[in-house]
Amino acid sequence: MHSGDRNIEDVFASDDHGKKPVKLGEGDRLKFAQQILGGLFVVSLLVMGGYAFNPDNKAWAEIFELIKVGALPLVTLVIGFYFPSSNR
């Protein structure tokens, strides 16, 4: 192995020698959701900024529509998954 390589069994070691699946805690899931939402926010800001500076450009208009129709519903899906209703 190279010096930067890692063995996944060493990183995700379990008591049953790999028979038990790796589980993520709520803090890890929340951090992952925060990273996804943060990335989508940055991309959305870049696209909206580009469209605001050049609204006549057809490419910016199409990408803006893609963000408006695709990314914003994805944000609500991620939020709904990580923060479900308490009426279960």
**What's CA 48's distance to the chain center, in Å?**
19
pLDDT of residue 67: 86
pLDDT of residue 31: 86
Q: Is the pLDDT of residue 17 over 70?
A: no
Q: Is the pLDDT of residue 75 over 70?
A: yes
Q: What is the pLDDT of residues 18-48, one digit of tens each?
A: 566 667 677 887 888 888 888 888 988 998 8
**CA–CA dist 49, 63 (Å, integer):** 11
Average the pLDDT over 61-82 and give the result: 83
pLDDT of residue 32: 82
**CA–CA dist 53, 50 (Å, integer):** 5
**CA–CA dist 79, 59 (Å, integer):** 29
